[in-house]
């Protein structure tokens, strides 16, 4: 991973503590803007975008499940634990079971320290028990102590692609992934700053994209192994509303598919929770709560 600052995968105490180190991706040194209310400069935003692009090129977006983890029990859902995901996943053992997933949320604000951290909020198909993902959502990216926000999408086998660069905390987001045969339509609307919205289409063979899960997730992106995960940015709230999915030709809410998992994010040592996930309200709404970064 060629992130300017990234978590070194090693057995050192620094890595296990989630340390962020400098790589050789660039020799340019750009100071973060003052922490006053001034907007980041164009040069600083460009540096942040470049760093994030290098990181996302090596991202592994699938769920890293912990089979004996500190899963949080939630009514009417099977508890699951993951190193990098928190939220809900509807699942099926039948290939091509899911044809749509959607949800709304308000972009969370993040509180930054000097350490580079990320929180990613999204809806999507696949990734819970498969190697492909079809996802889209929002990033809160703490770069050199400054919060920066993007909209994005990811369609296997390509890496995540940043789209909107004017995203702000409080922006109202609606996102969906719809499949028709081998064609996928990924649509995101930012009703607050409309330039961040997009509609993308792509194809994926039925034998490759299996569509066995639909998800509504808060994530700390990973690049392999329980210690190769960027620290989770401290976000104020992530609440999904109007969560819906279509499976086996029938439209429903979160949990109305063949199976439903409530996923708790845990630390790399499987000792404590990094987030908690609430019970479902009305079958289509829940929230995740930040507890720790790593």
pLDDT tens digits for range 243-285? 999 999 999 999 998 999 999 999 988 899 999 999 999 999 9
Residue 61: pLDDT over 90? no
pLDDT category at 160 given cuts 50, 70, 90 is confident
pLDDT for 13 equals 31
Residue 152: pLDDT over 80? yes
Q: Is the pTM of this model over 0.85?
A: no
Q: What share of the chain is helix, strand, coil (3-state, %, to 5)?
A: 5, 45, 50
Q: What digits encode the pLDDT tens for the residues 203-259?
A: 999 999 999 999 999 999 886 545 478 899 999 989 999 999 999 999 999 999 899
pLDDT for 46 equals 84
- Residues in Cβ contact with 233 at an 8 Å cutoff, skipping those fewer than 6 apart: 110, 111, 112, 117, 118, 119, 140, 141, 142, 147, 220, 293
d(CA 121, CA 96): 24
pLDDT for 4 equals 31
Q: What digits encode the pLDDT tens for the residues 69-125?
A: 666 678 789 999 999 999 999 999 999 999 999 999 999 999 999 988 999 999 999
Q: 232, 220, 230, 239: which is closest to 107 by C-alpha?
A: 239
d(CA 282, CA 166): 32
pLDDT for 41 equals 85
pLDDT category at 32 given cuts 50, 70, 90 is very low
Residue 9: pLDDT over 80? no
pLDDT for 92 equals 97
C-beta of residue 253 within 8 angstroms of C-beta of residue 284: yes
- 131: three-class secondary structure by DSSP: coil
Write down all domains in the chain, each with its CATH number in brackets: 65-290 (2.60.120.700)
pLDDT category at 21 given cuts 50, 70, 90 is very low
In 35-171, which ranges are E strands?
A: 65-66, 78-82, 85-91, 98-106, 110-111, 117-125, 134-143, 146-155, 161-162
pLDDT for 38 equals 61
pLDDT for 66 equals 83
């Amino acid at each position: 991973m060629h992130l300017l600052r990234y978590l070194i995968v090693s057995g050192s105490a620094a890595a296990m503590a989630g340390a962020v180190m400098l790589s050789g991706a660039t020799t340019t040194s750009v100071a973060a803007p003052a922490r006053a209310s001034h907007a980041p400069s164009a040069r600083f935003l460009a540096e942040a975008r470049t760093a994030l692009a290098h990181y996302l090129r090596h991202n592994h977006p699938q769920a890293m499940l912990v089979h004996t983890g500190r899963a949080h029990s939630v009514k009417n859902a099977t508890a699951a634990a993951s190193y990098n995901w928190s939220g809900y996943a509807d699942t099926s053992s039948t290939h091509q079971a899911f044809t749509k997933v959607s949800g709304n949320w308000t972009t969370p604000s993040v509180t930054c320290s000097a350490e580079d951290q990320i929180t990613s909020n999204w809806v999507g198909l696949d990734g819970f028990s498969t190697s492909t993902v079809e996802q889209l959502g929002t990033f809160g990216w703490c770069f050199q102590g400054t919060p920066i926000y993007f909209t994005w999408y990811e369609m296997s086998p390509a890496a995540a692609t940043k789209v909107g660069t004017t995203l702000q905390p409080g922006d109202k987001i609606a996102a969906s992934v719809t499949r028709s045969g081998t064609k996928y339509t990924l649509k995101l609307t930012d009703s607050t700053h409309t330039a961040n919205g997009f509609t993308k289409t792509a194809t994926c063979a039925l034998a490759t994209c299996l569509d066995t899960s639909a998800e509504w997730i808060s994530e700390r992106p990973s690049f392999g192994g329980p210690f190769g995960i960027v620290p989770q940015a401290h976000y104020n709230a992530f609440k999904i509303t109007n969560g819906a999915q279509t499976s086996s030709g029938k439209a429903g809410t979160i949990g109305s598919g063949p199976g439903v998992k409530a996923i708790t994010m845990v630390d790399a040592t499987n000792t404590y929770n990094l987030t908690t996930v609430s019970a479902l309200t009305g079958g289509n709404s829940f929230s995740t709560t930040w507890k720790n970064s790593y």
